[in-house]
Amino acid sequence: MALNRVGFLAIAMVFHLVYIYSIFDIYFVSPIVSGMQLFELNRPEGAKAPADRLVLFVGDGLRADKAFQSFPDPTPESEDTDLTPRPLAPFLRSRVLEHGTFGVSHTRVPTESRPGHVALIAGLYEDVSAVATGWKLNPVNFDSVFNRSRHTWSWGSPDILPMFEKGASPGRIDAYCYDAEFEDFSQDAVHLDHWVFDHVKDLFAEAERNKTLNAALKQDKIVFFLHLLGLDTTGHSYRPYSKEYLNNIKVVDQGVKEITELIKKFYGDDRTAFVFTADHGMSDFGSHGDGHPDNTRTPLITWGSGVAKPVVHQGSVAPGHDDYSSDWNLDHIKRHDVHQADVAALMAYLVGVEFPANSVGELPLSYLSGTIREKAEAYLVNAQEILEMYRIKEVSKKTTQLRYKAYKPLGANAKAPEDRLQTIQGLIEAGNYEEAIEETAVLIKLGLEGLRYLQTYDWLFLRALITVGYIGWIGFALTTVIDLHVLQGTTQPSRSLAGVVLFSSVLVTLYASFISSHSPLTYYAYAFFPVFFWEEVYARRESLVKGRQALFGHVQSGGKVLNLIINAVSYLGIIESLALGYIHREILTVLFCVGSIYPAVLGISFLQEHAVLSATWFVSCLVMSTFTLLPPAMKTENVTLILLGGLVMVGVGIAYLVFEEKILADFSDASTPKSSRRENHISRALIGIQIGLTLLAMFVTRSSALSLQAKQGLPRGNFVVGWFTLVISLLMPLAHRLQPNHHYLHRLLVIFLTFAPTFVILTISYEGLFYCAYCITLLSWVRLEHYSQIFATSPPEHTGSNGATKPTSSVVPSDFRPLKLSDARVALFFFVLLQSAFFSTGNVASVSGFSLESVSRLQPVFDPISQGALLILKIMIPFALISANLGILNKRLGVAPSALFMVAMALSDVLTLYFFWVVKDEGSWLEIGSTISHFVIASLLCVFVAALEGVSAIFISGIKVDKGKPTPDQKRVINGNGAAMDTVVELVVGEAKEKEPVAGEQT
């Protein structure tokens, strides 16, 4: 029995959700292992660690270039103030020039607070999926420098500190956090950093009076951690080039200076090491998360006990500098770049504790002031810790593999790691320190490569399995579409014993290998789907044969074959170009420009008959093409553009009220007398209320934006009115049930006005104008497709409407016409418009493609859950519109409600497969992070399309599409297919009523 529509959609969603999870089994496997021996440098009797205590300053969200560049005073005291560019962090700069070592710390993706702090403090690059765990209390379930210390005092954000406190040994870490309400994006965030500095001062003031506290502070191996969130909050609100962000750098520098002097005075022994760095950077758009260099390059400045002095090259450019640091005026000071995890190894060495378990940091020897022997010995201990991690992971992998293949450089045929360690130890004892350091560096590199080898051990098998699964899904989806919507259920699956045995044997073999290797449960699901899909395709081979005849039976001449090939190549080319659009938004500009001339392809007669429609489509496509040439709408707030977009929305609503009777008359039976038309006062009043809500949204948005820009916070009244407007506007469709109007144009207008206030409140620039242009384009598309399908319908003597051989009498009668080859074009247009909803106002394929300015008008206090929900709501609105329009187009074309959605779902995985094949696990973190996020988004797209069908069904429930009077020729086509063919309707998108009769209308 053929699979029904609901079953297909259920399989589509389950399959894609399961296969999306495959990315976690491939790329996001946690690197954490347990049971390892910890290593600490064995020092001579009475010898001390380089420092008794360590102070870690983390300027959350501080970019490396902003920390070192010079700027005019961002907050001049008077107009006469000298605006000559000067360093904003003079104290930290003095550490670079005279007291310590500096460089750039390179982070990994995702450039978010949790993984950044974990890398800094634990020396571990937590799996990428852990970014989601940083929004709520999720203790770090692995070792850290804090946990190795004798005691750690920490101050800062409640989003960061508790995860290290709760995950450490009880009583090891004290965390002092401000309330979450302090993280208010509507106010200047320097108060967050002042809070930290003030509370550190309070602790030391208390120690002067409290002997117990004083004694605790005088111990060795203690750590102070100051988490300075002000820069991150300010960067999100005002951007990293703003005077607010630059002023925050001054505040941080002054605070670091005061704390440094306070500690120096309190201890008076110069036995303190200081480390200043950041967890991640900040893009020009005020966001972070992806692998853009602005997000991955952070400052690292160290000074104090155990830290090397600056290496000065007078009169020449010191090593380590490049174009990036050319404007820092630090060319004569050697720059020492490190990986972010190296900071943990550096801190552990300085304060004299064991390297944290699972740390992959490499001790940066150039930052150390010790003797070369001390450096060589410390480096060797670093290598021991990494090789111990490799040993534990290898033992674990051997127990789960039938035929384990060892990493060659550390395998049975190579020199054992233990022998290499002994050789290096011998070099140190012999005084060959330089050679020992070189050999240790090689061994550490091999150890890290070995860890990666074990981390990626199953990749080849999993990639092959996932690829076969996606190809199987495409085949299964197309076969189901042919079964349900081309042949309309006239064929049944044909299974044989041999086929069942073959596919069952393959599945049993895969499962047996999984059981023997103790594979995760997800592996069983990954193997099940390819076998299931390919078995279904094989069982429906008869449907494929008949479907080929139904769809391609008319393609017999050489010219038609060539035309089919050209169209197929063009379709695949457009889909592949959409893949490039994930990186280069301008691709959509090209596609819209090319699509604008589509009516011309239909011929001169079509252009003459539908001139205004063709012109409307042409103009709307050109307007849409401009948005992807503009900077992403998340860089600068523009109240004027917000209000302009709102005015256009209001204008559309008012125009409908003024011309409602004329508009709807164009779409109703001309013979219907006006006296029989239903009164619609309630409906018009509700539309008026929706227009009023849009105006109210404009007013409150302008007021909130100006108040936030003036740093006066979000007024309580604005907060209440904003939420009231948002919620009431989204509930308005329910009110329209009081006086239903089933005309689809009326329904589309109600949907348009429902989301209009939301798109005003949650925008910062031209998104409202995009919203209007997108709606007009969708309406033009629905209308153009319907006209073109009717126009292209020809009544050959022995063919159906799809140009195929007329179905035999065995065809089961259906309320819907079968799909034809030209419907693939409709699915392709839908797919392009769907991508446009993603990328026209920004690049959501980047995990940092967001702006918190808009949501701060409704939620000024940092709350990732509610703020993220509002951002997602804004992103989803265009998809709700396209789902409603495609649902209406389904009705107009007379095809089954799910037919075009199913074709689009099959097409979407061509894109998914492309992204799966180009996923990178090597290279820059920008490339790695981007390719992984592209695959996840493309794979989710199919689930999204499946969900859109449900949304479409809700939006178009109960609408009525007028049935026209077909011509005699069209009646023959209808009878030949056993399906009802909708006639041409007039869709008003800025077009006056045409005087001449349209195609298919009797005169």
Instruction: Mark 675-701 as b/e (b = at least 16 C-beta within 10 Å).
Output: eeeeebeebeebbeebbebbbbbbbbb
Rounded Cα distance between 630 and 769, Å, is 13
C-alpha distances (whole Å) from 690 to each of 683, 792, 828 are 11, 40, 33
CA 854-859-862 angle, 5° bins: 100
pLDDT at 720: 94
Peptide bond into 110 cis (omega under 30): yes
Distance of CA 753 to the CA centre of its chain: 28
Q: Are 543 and 483 in contact (CB under 8 A)?
A: yes
pLDDT at residue 862 tops 80? no
| pLDDT for the residue 927 | 66
Asked whether residue 386 carries a pLDDT value surpassing 90, the answer given is yes
Provide CB contacts within 8 A for 438, sequence distance 6+. none
Q: Summarize the confidence of residues 116-127 as an average pLDDT.
A: 90
Question: d(Cα 729, Cα 731) in Å, to the nearest integer?
Answer: 5
pLDDT band at 831 (very low <50, low <70, confident <90, very high): confident
Look at 959 and 393; give whichever has higher pLDDT: 393
Residue 848 has pLDDT above 60, yes or no: no
Residue type, 663: I
Has residue 413 got a pLDDT over 80? no
Q: How confident is the model at residue 398 (pLDDT cuts 50, 70, 90)?
A: confident
Residues ≥6 apart with Cβ < 8 Å to 597: 618
Q: Is the pLDDT of residue 804 over 90?
A: no
Q: Is pLDDT at 315 greater than 80 in this prediction? A: yes
Report the alpha-carbon distance of residue 216 to residue 224 in Å, rounded.
12
Q: Rounded to an integer, what distance in angstroms lies between the CA atom of residue 280 and that of residue 298?
A: 6
Provide the pLDDT for residue 475.
Answer: 92
Question: In 3-state terms, what secondary structure has residue 339?
Answer: strand
For 331, 603, 893, the CA distances from 850, given in Å and listed in that order, are 35, 43, 38
Return the beta strands (E) in 112-248 as ranges. 151-156, 173-177, 222-228
- Residue 148 tokens read as 């190795």
Residue 940 CB partners (closer than 8 Å, separation 6+): 16, 20
pLDDT at 986: 34
289 has a pLDDT exceeding 90: no
The pLDDT tens digits of the residues spanning 168-216 come to: 888 899 999 998 888 876 677 899 999 999 999 999 999 999 999 999 9
Q: Which residues contact 204 (CB under 8 A, 6 or more apart)?
A: 217, 262, 263, 266
444-450 long-range contacts (CB < 8 A, ≥24 apart) are: 444/362, 444/379, 444/382, 444/383, 444/386, 446/409, 446/410, 447/383, 447/386, 447/387, 447/389, 447/390, 447/410, 447/417, 448/360, 448/362, 448/386, 449/407, 449/409, 450/390, 450/394, 450/407, 450/409, 450/410
Task: Of 375-384, 649-658, 787-796, 936-945, give the lowest mean pLDDT range.
Answer: 787-796
Please provide the distance, in angstroms rounded to a whole number, between the alpha carbons at the two ends of the chain: 47
Burial of 899 (0-12, 13-18, 19+ CB in 10 A): buried
What tens digit of pLDDT does each residue of 563-583 get? 888 888 888 888 888 888 887
Other Cβ atoms closer than 10 A to 819: 28
Per the model's pLDDT, the better-predicted residue between 281 and 904 turns out to be: 281
237: its two tokens:
């609100």
The pLDDT of residue 339 is above 80 = yes
Range 275-295 average pLDDT = 89
Given a cut of 50, whether residue 977 has pLDDT beyond it is no
Residue 462 has φ and ψ, to the nearest 5°, of -65, -40
Q: Is there a contact between 851 and 636 (Cβ–Cβ < 8 Å)?
A: no
- Cβ-based burial of 460 (10 A; exposed 0-12, middle 13-18, buried ≥19): exposed
Q: Which of 70-79, 449-458, 527-536, 846-855 has the lowest average pLDDT?
A: 846-855
CB atoms within 10 A of CB 256: 24
Q: Give me the torsion for CA of 953, 954, 959, 961, rounded to 10°.
A: -20
Q: H/E element holding 601? A: helix 598-601
Mean pLDDT computed over 53-71 = 96
Alpha carbon distance 40, 32 (integer Å)? 20
Q: Is the pLDDT of residue 153 over 70?
A: yes
Average pLDDT over residues 254-275: 96
pLDDT band at 220 (very low <50, low <70, confident <90, very high): very high
Can you give the pLDDT at residue 367? 98
What pLDDT sits at residue 184? 74
Average pLDDT over residues 62-69: 96
Residues across the chain: 1003
Mean pLDDT, residues 431-452: 94
pLDDT at 992 over 70: no
Give residue-wise pLDDT tens across range 30-40.
Answer: 778 888 888 87
The whole-number average pLDDT for the span 339-363 is 95
The answer to whether residue 888 scores a pLDDT higher than 70 is yes
More confident: 840 or 68: 68
Q: Residue 841 pLDDT more than 50?
A: yes
For residue 263, what is the enclosing H or E element?
helix 243-267
SS3 of 826, please?
helix
Determine contact, residues 189/248, Cβ cutoff 8 Å: yes
| Whether pLDDT at 395 is above 70 | yes
The widest CA-to-CA distance across the chain, in whole angstroms, is 109
Residue 128 tokens read as 């990428």
Residue that the structure tokens 């051990």 belong to = 457
